[in-house]
Amino acid sequence: MLQTLMVKLDPSPEQHKMLCDTMKRFNEACNHIAETVFVLHSANKVEIHKTVYYPVREHFGLSSQLTVRAISKVCEAYKRDKTIKPEFRLDGAIVYDPRILSWKGLEKVSLITLQGRQTISVRFGEYQKARLDRIRGQADLILVKGIFYLCVVVETDEASPYDPVGVLGVDLGIKNLAVDSDGEVHSGEKISQTRNKLDSLKARLQSKGTKSAKRHLKKLSGRMARFSKDVNHCISKKLVAKAKDTLRSIALEDLQGIRDRVTVGKALRRSLHTWNFGLLRMFVDYKAKISGVPVVFVDPRNTSRTCPSCGHIAKANRPTRDEFRCESCGFAGAADHIAAINIAFRGQVNGPIVAGKHLNLSYKPRPKGRGS
């Protein structure tokens, strides 16, 4: 499996300026090439190369391979949507391949610039150090808040999947980010509180409009995304560890396109569109592959409306957001836990499993009758 590592560069002030100048010139060349690509309506790299290679080298002063990489970057961007002309920020990424990037041990890297090759020091932690000997292919040079990083691709060994003896179902949501079929809840309350706090602070700073307020806003940029990413990392790590320790597979809902399918009230739209379920799913998927944990994706329809005891499906089975109560047999419990149990049922590859036998089911059916 391939992973991307962020490696921090530590250039001298002169080297930092060289990298900034090279990045600006590279993206100016990309915008120039994009005009030709859009006029010709072609993403054929060979055809575009014949048309723009020499003019770009002469006008922008790029090296041969940087010019080739600029052409490739534009063509790939145009392929994604041929109805618009690609536009590139002047601080957009530079794509480096092994011809214009080479490692000098693990402490330094040699990069081509407008002024020739520069050997730049690298700063990394133990996590990156243990994996830098597996670098494969090209790397992207990016600039984040004045700091240069190399996004390098490394090859990671995948463990051989084991034969699961059960399924750990996981229900993804907004109020509770994840609830598994064992009943463990990973609440989203902390993320909601942090998001509301940051949004309120940003609104006050924007209304103030002073230079100090703008500097503060710049510091806050990306904080929520980093916090959300950290929370999702922690949750996915726990889920994969639990599944591996109990030799179970993981069953997740296939939520692709859910934002287009689901209609919510105005008050809930913000929560729906800031719900980062895709990131959590991706983290679970790749961590599971490294650990050898099988992962299956199931149809999410009616998972929170189906009774795991009698199989009855009805909207009335879920009278409130947090409560499940089967109108047929009286089985009751927390709605998210019930959904996770149903997801585990659907993810079972060796036939149906009996409720409570493998899932640590603690809820008991309630008798039907008055007040049930």
The burial of 213, by beta-carbon neighbours within 10 Å (0-12 exposed, 13-18 middle, 19 or more buried), is given as middle
CB of 280 closer than 8 Å to CB of 172: yes
Helix then strand count (H, E) for the chain reads 11, 14
Quote the pLDDT of residue 257.
Answer: 58
Average pLDDT over residues 63-89: 93
Residue 309, C-beta contacts closer than 8 angstroms, at least 6 positions apart: 326, 329, 331, 355, 365
> Could you report the per-residue pLDDT of 118-136, keeping only the tens digit for each?
999 988 777 666 666 666 6
| Coil, strand or helix at 115 | coil
Taking the C-alpha atoms of residue 80 and residue 69, their distance in angstroms, rounded to an integer, is: 17
Residue range(s) occupied by CATH 3.30.420.140 in the chain: 160-190+230-372
Predicted TM-score (pTM) of this structure: 0.70
Quote the pLDDT of residue 173.
Answer: 82
> Could you report the per-residue pLDDT of 279-329, keeping only the tens digit for each?
888 899 889 988 899 999 888 888 888 898 888 999 888 888 888 999 888
Quote the pLDDT of residue 135.
Answer: 67
pLDDT beyond 60 at 184: yes
Quote the pLDDT of residue 367.
Answer: 44
CB of 77 closer than 8 Å to CB of 85: no
| Closest C-alpha among 187, 213, 186 to residue 202 | 213
Taking the C-alpha atoms of residue 311 and residue 225, their distance in angstroms, rounded to an integer, is: 40
Output the average pLDDT for the chain: 83
Quote the pLDDT of residue 352.
Answer: 38
pLDDT range class, residue 357, cuts 50, 70, 90 = very low
Say yes or no: domain 160-190+230-372 is CATH 3.30.420.140.
yes
> Could you report the per-residue pLDDT of 235-290, keeping only the tens digit for each?
999 999 999 999 999 999 887 655 555 555 555 555 555 556 778 888 998 899 88
Quote the pLDDT of residue 356.
Answer: 36
What would you measure as the largest C-alpha separation in the chain, in angstroms? 86
| Coil, strand or helix at 310 | coil
Q: Strand pairing of 295-298 and 249-253?
A: parallel
Q: How far is CA 297 from CA 75, 100, 168, 229, in A?
A: 34, 41, 12, 22
Structure tokens at 298: 């199931």
| Coil, strand or helix at 70 | helix
Structure tokens at 242: 């639990």
Average pLDDT over residues 61-71: 94
CB of 323 closer than 8 Å to CB of 316: no
